[in-house]
Every structure is written in C-alpha cells, then in structure tokens.
Amino acid sequence: MSTPGKTVPERRPTLQSIAAMAGVSHQTVSNVLNAPDRVAEHTRARVLDVIEQLNYRPNETARSLARRSTRLISFHIGAGHHNEASMLDPFMRELAKVGAEHAYRVVLDIAGDEDEDQIASYEELHARRSVDGVVIPETHVGDTRPAWLVEHGMPTVAFGRPWADPDPRHSWVDVDGGHGMRLVAEHLLQTGHERIAYVGPPRNRGMEDDRLDGLLAGLVDSGVEPDPALHLVVESPSGLRQALPALLADHRPTALACRDDAFAFEAIQVLDELGLRPGEDVAVTGFDDSDLARICRPQITSVAQPIREVAELIWESLLAQLAGTAEAPLRRLTLPRLVTRDSTTTWSPA
Amino acid sequence: MSTPGKTVPERRPTLQSIAAMAGVSHQTVSNVLNAPDRVAEHTRARVLDVIEQLNYRPNETARSLARRSTRLISFHIGAGHHNEASMLDPFMRELAKVGAEHAYRVVLDIAGDEDEDQIASYEELHARRSVDGVVIPETHVGDTRPAWLVEHGMPTVAFGRPWADPDPRHSWVDVDGGHGMRLVAEHLLQTGHERIAYVGPPRNRGMEDDRLDGLLAGLVDSGVEPDPALHLVVESPSGLRQALPALLADHRPTALACRDDAFAFEAIQVLDELGLRPGEDVAVTGFDDSDLARICRPQITSVAQPIREVAELIWESLLAQLAGTAEAPLRRLTLPRLVTRDSTTTWSPA
DNA sequence: CGTAGGGATTTGAGCGGTCAAACACAAGCC
DNA sequence: GGCTTGTGTTTGACCGCTCAAATCCCTACG
C-alpha cells in the first residue's frame, strides 16, 4: 500500500542499466532496439533477455531530445463553436489511429478562432519545438496560416483546400465537395426529379461555392438547366423555418440538395411542419454522412467523406516532410461517396 | 524560396547562446525564466532583452527530460464506436482548454475497446514515460483499468464512477445522473404529469441504474408511487420503434423520461409516426444536452452535464497528484442542471 | 607472416535544459 | 576587524537517449 499523495519516483531501468546487466555497452543495447541486424545473434538474444526481464522501454523524452523529434503532431483547432454535424471529431480520432501505426501521436491544441491567434500558438509550438508538425483541420478563404507554417519550416498538412489562394506552397488534402454534389444531382435526376433546389449559406469563394457549383454542374451535365430561383440562401439552418416555405410555395422544388446534414435535418423538420412528407413528397439530401443522417427519420441521403483516406494521405505527406523526402507539396482531392437513404429513395412524383 | 523537401534543421537559440550573448551563465538565464525574483533587476532586463531579440523559447523536450515530466496527459479512449449524442468530444476539448491554462497538453491515445487492450497501452505509456498522467473518460461496471494505473503510480482521474467497486483507490469525477433524473421527475410532476415512463437500456448496476433510480426516487419523494409497467427497456434507441407503441397503448404514459438524447430523439420520431404530437401530447426528456437536443423539433428538454466543471476538477486532482500534494483520491459528484425546452413545456393534458 | 578489410562492439560527445551546491561580494553586527 | 547573513551568480553533474567516430578482433589474401 503506497502512501497516498507521495508518488514514489520509481527508478526505471535505463539503457545503461540494461547494458550493465547484459555485460555490453549502452550503444549495443540501443542497436538491439534500433538496428538489430548490426548486433550478433547471441549478443542480441542476451540483451533482449535482460530487456524482457526488466520490462525495459526506452524513455521517450530522452529519445526525443537526442533525435530532435517529438513524434508528436498538433491537431490545431479554434476554441469557437463547432457545428453540430461536423466530422472534425471522428476525423481527429482517425488521425490518431493512423498516426499510431507510424509511432506518432496527436496532441490537441486549442487556440483562439482568428488566424492571428492560431499563428501565435504555432509560434510557441515552433519555438519550443514541442511538436514535429501541424494539421490544420479546416481552411477558409484568405487563410494566412498555412503560409506561415511553411515559411517557418514546420511540416504541415491542411484538411481543406487553399481556397482562393493563387499560389499555395503547402500540402493539403480535401474532399471534392463538388463531386459529392454531382453525385447528388445525378442521383436525384435518376430518381426522377426535375426541380432540384440547393439549400445553403451564401457563396464565399470557398467551400460553399464548391458544393453549389458541383450541384449546378451536375445538373448541366445531364442537360438540365439550373433555375436560379431554386437556390435558397440562408446563413444557418435555423433560417430555413422562415425561408423554406416561400421557396416551396413559389417554386415547387421536388428535392432539396442541402449543404450539409444540419441543413438537411432542419429542412426535413420544416417540411414536416408544413404538412409535407419529407422524402416522399420532397426529397432531401445532406452532406457529411453524420450520425444525424442515420438516426433521423427519414434517414438522410448524404455524401460521406472518406476520412480514413484523408487521414492516411495526411500522414503520408507529413511523414515525407518529416523525413525530408517530400518532393513537392501534396495537393490531393479525394472523392466522397453517396449514401442513399429514405430521404430520397421513398420519393414518388405527386 | 526554400528547397522543397529539404527542411533545413535551423539552429534555434539555446540557454547557452542566450547566456553568452547576455554575458551571464546559463543558469541565470534559466532563473530569469523560472524564478525571476532570484535575479537582479538590471541583469534580468538585459537577459530578457536578448531573449526578446532572438525570440528565444526553451526547448520543451529538454525541459521535460531534465524535469522528468512531459506536461502531457493522455486522453485515453477505445477505438470502438461512440454513440451519437456523446459529449466525449466536447469534453476532450474542454479538458484541453483547461489543461492549457496550467501549461499542460492533452494527447489523444486510442487503444482497443477491452480493458486489457487499454491496460497494455497504459503499460507502454508508463514504461516509456510518455505522459504524466491519464484521463479515463468513461468507466463501466467491473472496470479494471483505474486499479492498474493506481498500482503503477500513474496519476489518474476517471470521468465516471467506480461502479460496483467496493473499495476504489483512484480519483474520479462524475456527474450525478440520479440527481439529473430527479430534476426531470420534479419538472414533469410540476408540469402536471402523473404517468411518467422511463425509457432506456436494461439495468447494469452502473450508470443505467443511477439514472433510472434517480427518476424513481424523484417520483417517490414527491409522493408518487412509480408504476413498474412504466418502464420501457430497450437495448438501443432503434428498439423503440417496435417497443414504444405497446407502452403507449397499454399504459398511457404522458411523459417519457429517456436515458439520453439519442433515446429521446428516437422516441420523438416514433411518437410522430404514431400521430402523437411529441411535446404536446406526450412530453419527452433527454440527457446530455447534446446538439441534437437543440436542433430537433420539438427541442428536447435535457439534463446538461457540467463538463467545464468536470474538466476543472479533473485537472485539479491531476495536478495535485503530479505535485505529490494529493491527500486522498478525489471522489466528486457534480450536479447537472435541467434545460427545459419545448418537448416538455408545450405539453397540455388531454 | 604481415596486413588490409569488415563485422561487432565501444567510446565519447552531444541534445538543451534543471537542480543542488558552491561561490562571490557587500552589508550588518558585536 | 573578523564573523555571520544574505543576495546574486556561477559551476558542474545529470536526465537517458542517439549519432559519429574509434576500436577491437578475426579472417582472407598477397
């Protein structure tokens, strides 16, 4: 029974102590661990024996200091509110999982919401050498963060395109939202829809445009001329309550392609209140394939982001940058897939 | 323009270099940073000047090695699926925020779902000294993890009670779910309900009992005899579709007190399908005060967990354990509060 | 039989801080 | 004037590893 509050320092074995017990030099022990092929069979066996007996593991901090690498990367987010159906959290988990496969770990860093706050935080991370790299999980138009990181030689990958940045020098991975919305368009057209409305926030030269334009392009490609009236702009889902009825009454869309699941969910509820059966009378689609899309009724057809693939690509680039083998910045658009559910499959023309 | 792929090592200033430039010893520089009052005014000014000029920051890793503390704590979770409306993620953010106020950081560690997987992971963390402490964000009946950590001298706090553990030696913080459900009971009784049903998974000698018993106790305290028939047991929310109609038909509850928001949300949808107006005809309450509770219609009356307070308490205990000043393990139940919304306030007796 | 070559192992110097103890030096006291 | 006291500063060891270079020993070869 240990004295409470007095955690005994507990001396753990070190490279030295293992070496002493095995009757070899510290470096040989190190080699057994890091370059086993350099050590003679019998020596290795003996050393491993001692290691096993004492349950030795190298001290990570000492390693980090000597190797000048923490094997930590920062998942860096703002303190602000995140939207409901965001997949940021599952994404962070995925990033940690993939990182673990490469003996890297993810630390969660939270700074203010403004670019300058975040950069101030990077500055600390950088100067204190507390992480090997940074993952920026969201980007916006005019984002100044990636450039700062690149300039300061910090390995970086952004999840999100360098919107409206003519000459990005950093690595990024993003999901092709436009493609996702094309899938939506095709799916809806195939289902028999002719009047498909887009529901989302105003254009922002960034992600909003990507999704909206994707839908429009999808329609055009199938020979459908988009109707500008079938474009409902609301800042946030809560605006739908007021705005959606008019759109429905004036322009009679049969399908609502929404910017994300939160919009789709709200749309469904408004439809319901108006006495329209969501799915059956008016089809609805979302984006992100969040939990919400699965648990609500009707279940929402949604575009699923390949977060596993994104996490893998990010690590690939990060590791290359860390190894110094990165030829050029990674610029990669991944393809989302459509998950069809009741909110579109039960539709039948009036 | 830097050569791509060849991140230059970039020599940063060290204690030594600052010392040399300021014409003092390395220790004086260290003191300026860690114990400014020990340094004479003019010396301090001169050193700070150099520090500022070179934008010096101490290398975290070197610090960690010398001080034998990483200033990292592990937020340790299983790889498994987390339920929809869980507040684990917001909680982790809160933990990181509060940690930052104490110059500590949170790393996300993911292991298998079984206790033994997690313990194997702890073993690594412990042997490699890669973190100073561990936060276990969920506990279950018969949890073997906290004991392991305590035995190995690892500072630990669990978010969750030591369910069914007669003699826990570890620190924990939890939210008093029973109290939360009492609030629900009182609120519903005040609103005029007489037939209040509980909806949730089977008893498990743990959290399920806590919530259920809290509700029952709340009823009894107000002089209402609980009706065993008003207890709907379903493994998961999806079971409600099948089970709820019978409960409603056979026992006519006017309110459904649900185990969490996911159950509440599903209940609302089933009510709706049955032609009953959720909120107005049958009141519904949830637990967790998740995003879902706010965005769904009707908005769900829910019990909000004080995650900020929990995060603060956890750090308090963690820091005390780290400092060796912890007298006894922390055992703390925090009080949730009720957030009333349309799902109960619009109810009117038939 | 001396020596070049190569695998196995050791040596020694960092990495960049912290901590404890030693050391100046001036003031305060009897 | 010697002694204590105390503040400000320096010294040196150490944390536990990795890396580069040196050393050792045995074999192969001319």
Answer yes or no: do A114 and A41 share one domain: no
DSSP letters, B33-68, are: HH-GGGS-HHHHHHHHHHHHHHT----HHHHHHHHT
Asked if residue A183 is part of any domain, the answer here is yes
| H or E stretch covering A29 | helix A26-34
Asked if residue A5 is part of any domain, the answer here is no
Instruction: State both tokens at A298.
Output: 């009707």
pLDDT digits (tens, 9 = 90+) for B306-348: 999 999 999 999 999 999 888 899 999 999 999 999 999 998 8
CB environment B66-95: b (16+ within 10 A), e (fewer) = eeebbbbbbbbbbeeebebbbbbbbbbbbb
pLDDT at B3: 38
Answer yes or no: do A214 and A326 share one domain: no
Task: Provide the domain limits for residue A119.
Answer: 67-176+307-335
Q: Do β-strands A337-339 and A301-304 pair in parallel, antiparallel, or remain unpaired?
A: antiparallel
Nucleotides on chain C that have an atom closer than 7 A to a protein CB are 7-12, 14-21
Q: How many CB atoms are located within 10 Å of the residue A275 CB?
A: 7
pLDDT digits (tens, 9 = 90+) for A147-159: 999 999 999 999 9
Answer yes or no: do B140 and B75 share one domain: yes
Q: Which of residues 29-88 of B touch strand D (CB under 7 A)?
A: 31, 37-40, 42-44, 65-66, 68
CB A136, CB A159: distance < 8 Å: yes
pLDDT at A9: 55
SS3 A325: coil
Per-residue DSSP letter, B251:
H
Give the A window 157-216 contacts with B, CB below 8 Å. none
Q: Which of the listed residues B51, B78, B94 is the one where a domain comes to its end?
A: B51
pLDDT digits (tens, 9 = 90+) for B95-152: 999 999 999 999 999 999 999 999 999 999 999 999 999 999 999 999 999 999 999 9
Q: How far is B107 from chain A (nearest CA, A)?
A: 4
Give the A window 55-114 contacts with B, CB below 8 Å. 55-62, 64-65, 68, 70, 72, 75, 77, 79, 84-85, 89, 92-93, 96-97, 100, 105-110
Asked if residue B4 is part of any domain, the answer here is no
Partner-chain residue, chosen from B10, B108, B327, that has the shortest CB–CB distance to A106:
B108
Tokens 């009036």 belong to A350
Residue A78: closest CA among chain B residues belongs to which residue?
A: B93
Domains held by chain B: number? 3
Answer yes or no: do B152 and B196 share one domain: no
CB environment B197-222: b (16+ within 10 A), e (fewer) = bbbbbeeeebbbbbbbbbbbbbbeee
Q: Do β-strands A331-334 and A255-258 pair in parallel, antiparallel, or remain unpaired?
A: unpaired
Partner-chain residue, chosen from B65, B107, B127, that has the shortest CB–CB distance to A55:
B127
Per-residue DSSP letter, B129:
T
CB of B24 under 7 A from strand D?
yes
d(Cα B53, Cα B46) in Å, to the nearest integer?
11
Tokens 């619009």 belong to B346
End-to-end CA distance of chain B: 75
Closest CA to B102 of B130, B72, B122, B128: B72
CA R_g for chain A: 26
Q: How far is A198 from chain B (nearest CA, A)?
A: 21
Answer yes or no: do B195 and B277 share one domain: yes
CB contact B321 to A (< 8 Å)? yes
pLDDT at A1: 37
pLDDT at B83: 60
CB A73, CB A318: distance < 8 Å: yes
Tokens 């992971």 belong to B121
Answer yes or no: do A208 and A262 share one domain: yes
Asked if residue B159 is part of any domain, the answer here is yes
Q: How far is A65 from chain B (nearest CA, A)?
A: 6
Instruction: State both tokens at B124.
Output: 């690594």
pTM of this prediction? 0.93
pLDDT at A348: 86
- What does pLDDT average to in each consecutive run of 10 residues of chain A (350 residues)? 45 92 94 92 93 96 96 93 72 96 96 95 96 96 95 96 92 97 97 95 94 97 93 95 94 96 96 92 95 93 97 97 91 97 89
pLDDT at B45: 94
Which amino acid type is present at position A60?
E
Establish, for the pair of chains A and B, how many residue pairs have beta carbons separated by less than 8 Å.
161
CB hemisphere CA count around A208 (13 angstroms) = 16
d(Cα B267, Cα B272) in Å, to the nearest integer?
8
Q: Is the dihedral of CA A158, A164, A169, A175 positive or negative?
A: positive
According to DSSP, the residues that pair with A319 across neighbouring strands are none
pLDDT digits (tens, 9 = 90+) for A242-294: 999 999 999 999 999 999 999 999 999 999 999 999 999 999 999 999 999 99
Query: Shortest CA–C1' contact from A35: which nucleotide?
Result: D18
Q: What is the CATH number of the domain that holds A266?
A: 3.40.50.2300
Answer yes or no: do B199 and B284 share one domain: yes
Q: Do B328 and A97 touch (CB under 8 A)?
A: no
d(Cα A260, Cα A200) in Å, to the nearest integer?
8
Answer yes or no: do B224 and B295 share one domain: yes
Answer yes or no: do B271 and B313 share one domain: no
Answer yes or no: do A289 and A189 share one domain: yes
List chain B residues with pLDDT less than 70.
1-10, 81-85, 350
Residues of chain A positioned with their CB less than 8 A from the CB of B127 = 12, 55-57
Asked if residue B279 is part of any domain, the answer here is yes
Q: How far is A20 from chain B (nearest CA, A)?
A: 19
Asked if residue B157 is part of any domain, the answer here is yes
Q: Do B127 and A12 touch (CB under 8 A)?
A: yes
CB contact B325 to A (< 8 Å)? yes
Cis peptide before B202 (omega within 30 of 0): no
Answer yes or no: do A172 and A312 share one domain: yes
Phi, psi of A183 (to 5 degrees): -60, -40
According to DSSP, the residues that pair with A181 across neighbouring strands are none
Give the A window 229-268 contacts with B, CB below 8 Å. 237, 262, 265-266
Answer yes or no: do A182 and A270 share one domain: yes
CB of B38 under 7 A from strand C?
no
Angstrom distance, B35 CA to C25 C1': 22
Cis peptide before A298 (omega within 30 of 0): yes
Asked if residue A1 is part of any domain, the answer here is no
| H or E stretch covering A59 | none
Q: How many CB atoms are located within 10 Å of the residue B187 CB?
A: 21
Asked if residue A9 is part of any domain, the answer here is no
Partner-chain residue, chosen from A127, A291, A327, that has the shortest CB–CB distance to B84:
A291
CB B185, CB B222: distance < 8 Å: yes
Query: Shortest CA–C1' contact from A63: which nucleotide?
Result: D17
Tokens 């706090």 belong to B157
